[in-house]
Structure 1
Amino acid sequence: MLYQMYEFQKALLLPMSSWAKAAADTFMNVSNPLSKIPGSERLAASYELLYRLGKEYKKPEFGIRSVHAYGSEVVIHEVTKVAKPFCKLIQFKRYSDDAQVINQMKHDPTILLVAPLSGHHSTLLRDTVRTLLQDHQVFITDWVDARQVPLTEGEFGLDDYVHYIQDFMRDIGVANLHVISVCQPTVPTLAAVALMASQGEPLPLSMIMMGGPIDARKSPTAVNSLADKKSYEWFKSHVIYKVPPPNPGVGRSVYPGFLQHSGFIAMNPQNHLQSHWDYFQNLVRGDELDAKQHIHFYDEYNAVLDMDAKYYLDTIKTVFQDFALPNGTWEVAGKRVKPEDIKTTALLTIEGELDDISGSGQTRAAHKLCKGIPLEQKDHYEVSGAGHYGIFSGRRWREKVYPRIQAFIRAHEDTRRTTPPRASKAPAKLA
């Protein structure tokens, strides 16, 4: 019933939001006499803020049309490489008229960027993708809003997530592949590679895990504490609802995006209030640059998707309650996940010093689990001053994290191509 009430409220707000936008444009349009009356700036700013608070936020586009690579402007074109019911594998193809640039790009390492399925769309990693495209061929998992998936496609659970990642790796080919997982997918990505190792399949050259709950017992955050304090049954009865008509996924049990969004806001309500007040003041002052930055951020932040109930509940139990991966008890489709079987894939873990979503040590725990990887093939990087989003977006990502990732990929690509992995005689430093 809650989902239906939300949809009804959204339908009621839509006319008001449209009216607010029209009113804002009226008072901002310099050719309109009403824009000349005293206080018109505040009226316009008030209506604009009302519009943005009430509007519907749809999935944004990546919007990456070109990047600068090898001293040239390279055109980017999005292609759907694989389409599955709950996820698309997107390839960002690079094009150039310069034969030398084309030849250099052909030899670039390939990246599979596994985006989180935790509320926001994969476009949250736009800055990550744009930066990686300078020196890599890039694929990304683009998760589908569960309310758009017909019930006839069946459920989607954590096991399915692992199998999707495996299928994508096989489709791309692992010969020149490096897998980067951001936040939540660090867990299923590690499982996917571990299961392939146990089966004797070829593995990717490296795994780069960023800010994820490999072992959520370490430095628990507010997110971890909620999952620990509430029972599995509580989550099942309090946050799971059926998709109402006229959505294509009508009848599907989901964790609705609007509930997730409420949780995001509740984590830092004062920060969001201040941000909206600053936006109002910027509009009044005519500070277009800061106002546009606010718009771009919240266009992304407010666009959320529904998650299939099975996947969400599986994750709560497996990752945040049973801690099945670090405890060595996790089974995917009846097969035990054994990270120690991974021996030829280099491992880099990255954490933000101020991360309030995945606490300190949660991602680094992968090193202890991956006992079969030689120490010289492992590294860890803590990003000073960075919160959760700072490790994959913004200035710190571009200036600190990316150079570290780029160097790691190049070093271990060369290692795998020239010499087999050797046993380490002395402990390697995890800096």
Structure 2
Amino acid sequence: MRYMATYDMMETFRNTQQWLGATARTMASYPAFSVVPNPALEWMAAWGEVTERTFERMVVKPDWGIRTFTCEDGKDHLVNIETVVEKPFGDLIHFNVSGREEQPRKILLVAPMSGHYATLLRSTVKSLIVNCEVYVTDWHNARDIPVSAGKFDIEDYTLYLMDFMRHMGPETNVVAVCQPAPLTLAATAYLAELDPDAQPRTLTLIGGPIDPDAVPTDVTDFGARVTMGQLEETMIQRVGFKYPGVGRMVYPGLLQLTSFISMNSDRHSKAFNDQIMRVCRGEASDHDAHNRFYDEYLAVMDMPAEFYLSTVERIFKNCEIAKNEFVVGGHKVDMGKITRVAVKTVEGDKDDITAPGQCIAALNLCTGLPDDKKASHVEPGAGHYGIFAGKSWRNNIRPLVLEFIDANASEPKDKPKKKAANVNAA
């Protein structure tokens, strides 16, 4: 009950701040006060508006916001988000463009389960849906999953990915972003051993911690510094009575958000102060740059405790993927079993979360894969977010990834290619 009380205390604090913001905005906007304009009341209303929106967004899953798409025929086509595989902890969804011919490129975009919803990849999906059939792993908020659904750790995550790949078939091109990169590599290797005909055609790993010890960052230093006992004692709580997952052990989204903001507290503080002044001057709008960014950034989800703890212990502390010692259901997964899936890594030169060198380690693990099916790219000047959703992704990385996919699209599965696109550009 101690953990449950703490969880409810955080939710009570969030709810109270949202109520205070709404109250301040409503009171300061009282029509009678307009008779004698008062800058203090204008600031109070602006503070209330920003505060209410900020704390309200923390418990709301953002919408994908992809409703129509203009195809080559010049017409707007509806985009239907269809659930093709439904599971307790996450679904496989498809962005189906109505009335458009099926595109030859079939992409499985593996979204991270690291605090934010899969909608964090919204701009990535928009850029790929132009000429690809896009499928995304849509992970669920752990607070909404009943305890009866059981546990969910990194082994379960790997098995989920294998099921998704099996469903989509061998013509799939998998793109894993950040956190799921090592587990996606493991899922591909396990699938290559158990069901070779179901393995994907290509695998692109973007900014993932395949070998966290290759180049230290603040994230890896933190993982090495704290003990598992400390993490479990300070980060793990039980979901309160308000949600369907009552009693489930989780790493709460609100606690994760606190960690996110504390890393750059000065910058976030300035951003909110500036937004309050913009609201005061009437320069803000519902979809301005501040609100577009923070509506997504502040929307956090609870992570299953066993998934978070096993990620820290097995991926970062024990480096099981980097040492090729990862075990799923008692079976050791050998990355060397990947022999015909073309693998490409993408890293950002300025990535301070997954530094260059951590992701490219995947190529060395694929000992059974010919060099002409390996490729890598380091994007100059790009940070972590930029390599999958920013200008660097749109202008440079996306074309390279699609080129890599096309270069391996029509080659027979049992014959090696002569040359893959952008081979070892790093």
TM-score normalised by L of structure 2: 0.92
CA distance in 1, matches of 2:140, 2:343: 29
Counterpart for residue 56 of structure 2? 55
Counterpart for residue 315 of structure 2? 319
Counterpart for residue 193 of structure 2? 198
CA distance in 2, matches of 1:47, 1:156: 39
Counterpart for residue 81 of structure 1? 84
CA distance in 2, matches of 1:295, 1:23: 23
**1:62 counterpart letter in structure 2:** W
Contact 1:82/1:90 (<8 A) preserved = yes
CA distance in 2, matches of 1:428, 1:192: 23
The answer to whether 1:213 aligns with 2:209 is yes
The alpha-carbon deviation at position 236 of structure 1 amounts to: 1.5
The alpha-carbon deviation at position 287 of structure 1 amounts to: 3.0
Contact 1:120/1:301 (<8 A) preserved = yes
CA distance in 2, matches of 1:333, 1:428: 34
Q: 3-state SS of the aligned residue for 1:55? A: helix
**1:90 counterpart letter in structure 2:** I
When residues 11 and 106 of structure 1 are mapped into structure 2, their CA distance, relative to the original with a 3 A threshold, is: closer
CA distance in 2, matches of 1:109, 1:35: 62
Counterpart for residue 227 of structure 1? 223
Contact 2:141/2:301 (<8 A) preserved = yes
Q: 275-284 or 162-171, which moves further after superposition?
A: 275-284
The alpha-carbon deviation at position 167 of structure 1 amounts to: 0.5
Q: 3-state SS of the aligned residue for 1:414? A: coil
When residues 74 and 32 of structure 1 are mapped into structure 2, their CA distance, relative to the original with a 3 A threshold, is: farther
The alpha-carbon deviation at position 291 of structure 1 amounts to: 6.8
Counterpart for residue 46 of structure 1? 47
**2:22 counterpart letter in structure 1:** S
The alpha-carbon deviation at position 286 of structure 1 amounts to: 3.2
Counterpart for residue 189 of structure 1? 184
The alpha-carbon deviation at position 288 of structure 1 amounts to: 3.5
Contact 2:21/2:49 (<8 A) preserved = no
**1:184 counterpart letter in structure 2:** Q
Counterpart for residue 147 of structure 2? 151
The answer to whether 1:17 aligns with 2:3 is no
Contact 1:2/1:241 (<8 A) preserved = yes
Contact 2:373/2:417 (<8 A) preserved = no
The alpha-carbon deviation at position 18 of structure 1 amounts to: 2.3
**2:290 counterpart letter in structure 1:** H
2:235 is aligned, of 212, 219, 239, to 239
The alpha-carbon deviation at position 169 of structure 1 amounts to: 0.8
The one-character-per-residue Cα deviations of 1:78-130 (angstroms, maximum 9, x if unpaired) are 1111111100111110113xxxxx3xx42421111110000000000000011
CA distance in 1, matches of 2:52, 2:202: 45
CA distance in 2, matches of 1:338, 1:292: 48
When residues 395 and 153 of structure 1 are mapped into structure 2, their CA distance, relative to the original with a 3 A threshold, is: same
Contact 2:235/2:251 (<8 A) preserved = yes
CA distance in 2, matches of 1:317, 1:401: 31
Counterpart for residue 94 of structure 2? 91
The alpha-carbon deviation at position 392 of structure 1 amounts to: 1.3
Q: 3-state SS of the aligned residue for 1:392? A: helix
Q: 3-state SS of the aligned residue for 1:85? A: coil
Deviating beyond 4 angstroms after TM superposition, the runs of 4 or more aligned structure 1 residues are none
Q: 3-state SS of the aligned residue for 2:386? A: helix
The alpha-carbon deviation at position 221 of structure 1 amounts to: 1.2
Contact 1:205/1:416 (<8 A) preserved = no
CA distance in 2, matches of 1:92, 1:380: 28
Q: 3-state SS of the aligned residue for 1:413? A: coil
CA RMSD of aligned residues (A): 2.3
Counterpart for residue 99 of structure 1? none
The answer to whether 1:278 aligns with 2:278 is no
Counterpart for residue 354 of structure 1? 350
The alpha-carbon deviation at position 50 of structure 1 amounts to: 2.7
The alpha-carbon deviation at position 8 of structure 1 amounts to: 2.4
The alpha-carbon deviation at position 71 of structure 1 amounts to: 5.1
When residues 32 and 112 of structure 1 are mapped into structure 2, their CA distance, relative to the original with a 3 A threshold, is: farther
Q: 3-state SS of the aligned residue for 1:379? A: strand
Q: 120-129 or 31-40, which moves further after superposition?
A: 31-40
The answer to whether 1:178 aligns with 2:182 is no
1:4 is aligned, of 2, 5, 8, to 8
When residues 414 and 357 of structure 1 are mapped into structure 2, their CA distance, relative to the original with a 3 A threshold, is: same
The one-character-per-residue Cα deviations of 1:166-190 (angstroms, maximum 9, x if unpaired) are 001111212x210010000001100
The alpha-carbon deviation at position 164 of structure 1 amounts to: 0.3
Q: How many residue pairs align between the two structures? A: 416
The alpha-carbon deviation at position 351 of structure 1 amounts to: 0.8
TM-score normalised by L of structure 1: 0.91
Contact 1:378/1:430 (<8 A) preserved = no
Q: 3-state SS of the aligned residue for 1:76? A: strand
CA distance in 1, matches of 2:175, 2:424: 22
CA distance in 2, matches of 1:406, 1:36: 61
The one-character-per-residue Cα deviations of 1:302-328 (angstroms, maximum 9, x if unpaired) are 111111111111111110100011112
**2:390 counterpart letter in structure 1:** G
Q: 401-410 or 315-324, which moves further after superposition?
A: 401-410
The alpha-carbon deviation at position 42 of structure 1 amounts to: 3.5
The one-character-per-residue Cα deviations of 1:208-227 (angstroms, maximum 9, x if unpaired) are 11111000002111111111
**1:95 counterpart letter in structure 2:** S
1:342 is aligned, of 338, 344, 355, to 338
